[in-house]
Amino acid sequence: MFAKLAQPYPLGATLCDQGCNFSIHCPESNNIQLILFDERNNKTVIELEHQKMGIRYTFVHGVKAGQVYGYQVQDKSGTRLILDPYAQALNQIPHYTEPFSAEASWAFAKSVVTNHDFDWQDTPRPQVPYEETILFETHVKGFTKRHPEMNEQWRGTYLGLCQPEMLAFFKAQGITSLQLMPVTSCMSEPHLLKMNKINFWGYNTLCFMAPEPRYAVHDAVTEMKTMVRTLHQHGIEVIMDIVFNHTAEGGEGGPQFHFKCLDKSHYLLNSGKDYVNFTGCGNTFDLSYQPSLNIVLDTLRHWVTHYHIDGFRFDLAATLGRRREHFDIHGAFFKAIAQDPLLRQVKLIAEPWDVGPNGYQLGHFPRGWNECNDKFRDTVKGYWLCNHNPIKELATRIMGSRDLFSAGCWPDKLPVNFVSYHDGFTLRDLVSYNHKHNLANGENNRDGHGDNRSNNQGIEGETTRLSVQYKRERQKRNLMATLLFSFGIPHILAVDSLSHTQRGNNNAYCQDNEISWADWQLSEESEQFRDWLAQMIAARKQWMSPFIRAFSGKDRGHHRIHWRRSNGQHMNAEDWQGLEAFALYLGLYKDGEELLFLINHSSIPTRYRLPQGGKWSVICDTSDSQLRPRQIQTTYMQSAKSLTILHRA
C-alpha cells in the first residue's frame, strides 16, 4: 500500500494525511538508512527500499510534524548521522566540539519534519517599486539585542524585529525593505570553534531551507513567518541574504554534514585532488551539476512559497554563473530563474563577484537582476573622505553608473548603491578611523579589508574634541545625501541610522557582543543624525524617486542634464580634470520640476550663481545638522566640504 505513496519527488520530508515521504539524492551512498528519533532520542532504522536516478526514497506511515530524523551512512571512521540537505527545520542550535567525528555526529543537530500550515491573514505582499525601494541591511539578533524598551524575551529574535518598538522605528525612518543578513541555518567554522567564537554574520550555510534556530524563542519556522507577516502588514518587504556559493563543510579535512557524504565529487566543485575554492571559504557549490541547481531552485521557491519572502540578495553571486573558471551570463541558473513563474516576480540582488578567476562581474548579470555597486562605494568614499577628486567618475556614479547599467533597462536594472555594508567600517567608523582594529577577531589584525577609504578627521577613534566631531557629522551627511540622491537603489546599513561604532573593527563577523549589537543609547548628535536621515529618506521619496522614474526606460532622453561651474557657466573639458566646486542641474522634460546639486569639495566656502526662473527650495545643506526648509533665488553660499540639494517646481 505504502509503496504507491513513496515518491522520488519532491526531495526531503513531505507530509500527507497518512504519513511522510522521505527522499534523498545520494548516488555515492548505497548503504544509507533513514533514522527516526523519539522524544528520548531512541532511534528506529528504516530502509530506503526505492531508487530512481541516484535518489533513495520511502514512505513511512504515521509520521507527524515535529518528527526528528537523519540519515545513517558508513565511512572510514564508522557509522555517521548526516542531515537531510532538504531539511526544513533543525531540532537544536548546531554546535560541536572539534573534531567532528562520526561518533560526534549523533549528538549534533538533526532534521525535523515540518508542517507549513500558517495563517497569513490574507496579508498582501508590499511589492515596493524599485525606484521607491530603500534597503535596510539588518542583523536579526544584532539590531534588537540591546533595545532598552523591548521586552527582554524578544531581544535578538525574529519576533524582536516585529515588536511595536521596531515597527515604529522602521516607519519613522521610512524604510521600505529589510535586507536580512543570513537567517538560514549556519555552522561556525572550525577555527572559530577552537577560539570559542561563532560565525555571527551567518555566511556559512548548513541547510539551505532551515531557518536559523539561534533567533527563535521556541519555534524558528512559525516565528520567522510571524515576523514576515507582521512586517508585510506594515508595508515593509523582507529580502533574504542567502548563501549558495559554498557550504559549511569547508575544504578537504572539513566537517561532513551531508553533501560530502552523499556525492563528494559533484555537489562541491572538485579538481580531482581537492575542492576548488573560488569563494575563499574552502569549497565552491557547483551549479553546473543538476542536483546542485535543483536544490538551489527548490530552496528559493521554498522561501517564497512558505515564508512569503519578497526577494534575495545572493552572496558572492558570480559563483552561481560559473562553469569552473568562467562566468556565463547565459548559465543554467539564470535561465532557470528567468523562466520560473514564481521566482521571476521577486527582487534579485547580486553581489556580482567572487574570489576566483574572472570573478569580478559588475554589470554583467542578466536583465531582472540588480547588482551591488562597489564602484559607487569606492568613488563616493574616495571623493568625500580621501581628498580624491575624480569628478568624472563621481558624476557617472551619481547618474546611475550608466556605463554599467543602461537607463533603458531602468528601473528594474537600477544599481544597488551603498557606502557601508556589513563587511567594512560602519558609517561612523568611516569618519573616525584611518586603520582597522580587528584584534578581537583573534587573527592578529590580518583579517578584514585594507582599502577602507576612511578618514578619522585628525584623531583615531572616539574623541570629545568638538571641531573633529563637527567634521565627522558633516561627512556622514555628505555620504548619505550623495547616496540618497543618486540614481539607484540605496542600501543603508541598519546600525548606521544609530551612528553605531564597531570600535574600528571592519570584519566583525565573529563578534556576537556589543561590538556588533546596535547601540540604542544615542548621544544628542546621534539623535540628530537619526532624525536627519529619516527626513532625507522622506525627501528622496518625494523628490528623487519621480526623477528616477522619469529618467528610466524609453523617456530617458527627454529631460535636461547640465553640469555647471559655481558661476553658472557650463563646464568645459578642462573643468572635468578636477574642478572643486560644481553643480548638477536636472530638469524633467522641457519645463518640468528641477533639482540642483551644489557640490563643494574645496576647503573654502563658495558662492554659487543659481539658474534663473524663480525661487529654489532648499532640500538639504549638509553643513547643517538639521533640514531647514527655506527659499533662495539668485545665489547661495556653499560651505566648505559640503553639498546642498535644491528643488524647484
Rounded to whole angstroms, the Cα distance separating 436 from 449 reads: 8
Q: Note whether 433 and 472 are within 8 A (CB).
A: no
72 close to 94: Cβ distance less than 8 angstroms: no
Look at strands 326-327 and 311-314 and give their pairing: unpaired
323 within 8 A of 276, measured Cβ to Cβ: no
Ranges assigned E (strand) in 123-281 = 135-138, 177-180, 237-242
| Catalytic, out of 249, 310, 351, 374 | 351
The single-letter DSSP state of residue 610 is P
The backbone region for 401, taken as left when phi is positive above 0, alpha when psi lies in -120 to 50, beta otherwise, is left
Q: Is residue 284 a contact partner of residue 246, using CB atoms and an 8 Å limit?
A: yes
Asked if 351 is an active-site residue, the reply is: yes
Phi, psi (deg, nearest 5) at residue 480: -75, -35
Q: Known catalytic residue: 315?
A: yes
Alpha-carbon distance of 320 to 242, in angstroms, equals 12
CA distance 529 to 531: 5
- Please state whether the peptide bond connecting residue 352 to the residue before it is cis, i.e. omega within 30 degrees of 0: no
Q: Residue 499 in contact with residue 472, Cβ under 8 Å?
A: no
Contact 622, 474 (CB under 8 A): yes
Distance CA 228, CA 158 (A): 9
Q: What is the per-residue DSSP string for 99-149?
A: S--TTGGGGS--EE--------TTPPP----GGG--EEEE-HHHHHTT-TT
What does residue 56 show for φ and ψ, rounded to 5 degrees?
A: -110, 140
Alpha carbon 53 to its chain's center: 36
Whole-angstrom Cα distance, residue 202 to residue 200? 6
- Choosing from 137, 315, 354, 374, the catalytic residue is 315
User: Which residues are catalytically annotated?
Assistant: 315, 351
